[in-house]
Structure 1
């Protein structure tokens, strides 16, 4: 059963950490990936309920990372 709207997804997005490691801003990532800053902010703040594979792939290409480096299981 999928989680209710107010429940955590159990997935943590490490976008902030990866951006910091690469010295890149959210604005620059937005321009390079073609995704709005608002949508990237939702993702980085763990509020996203879904992500398109094409977006996930584009983010990983720009950040030169694997999906498993970007998205990890959240620890309770």
Structure 2
């Protein structure tokens, strides 16, 4: 998926557990894990807003775009053909 989720990075910077973040945001730890592990198909703006508020960050600190071309190249361990 071309959208990468960096919640782990912000959790480490804030020295916060997944459980604490889920509780403070108001979502289940299971739903946070789905989002954190990049398995979510969508995220509500209200959830993104709550994550940013609790983690004191911007949406771009949590989400980033990766081109599928570079993801395939990285996975194969080689450069472009």
Tell me the TM-score range normalised by the shorter chain: 0.7 to 0.9
Give, in angstroms, the shift of residue 24 of structure 1: 0.1
Which one has a larger percent helix, Structure 1 or Structure 2? 2
**Residue aligning to 2:32:** 40
Match of 1:5 in 2: none
Q: How many residues align?
A: 68
Q: How does 1:1-76 map to 2 (within 5 A)?
A: 8=1, 10-74=2-66, 75-76=70-71
Structure 1 stretches of at least 4 aligned residues deviating more than 4 Å after TM superposition: none
Shift of 1:21: 0.8
1-side partners of 2:10 and 2:52: how far apart? 10
Gaps of 5+ in 2: 72-81
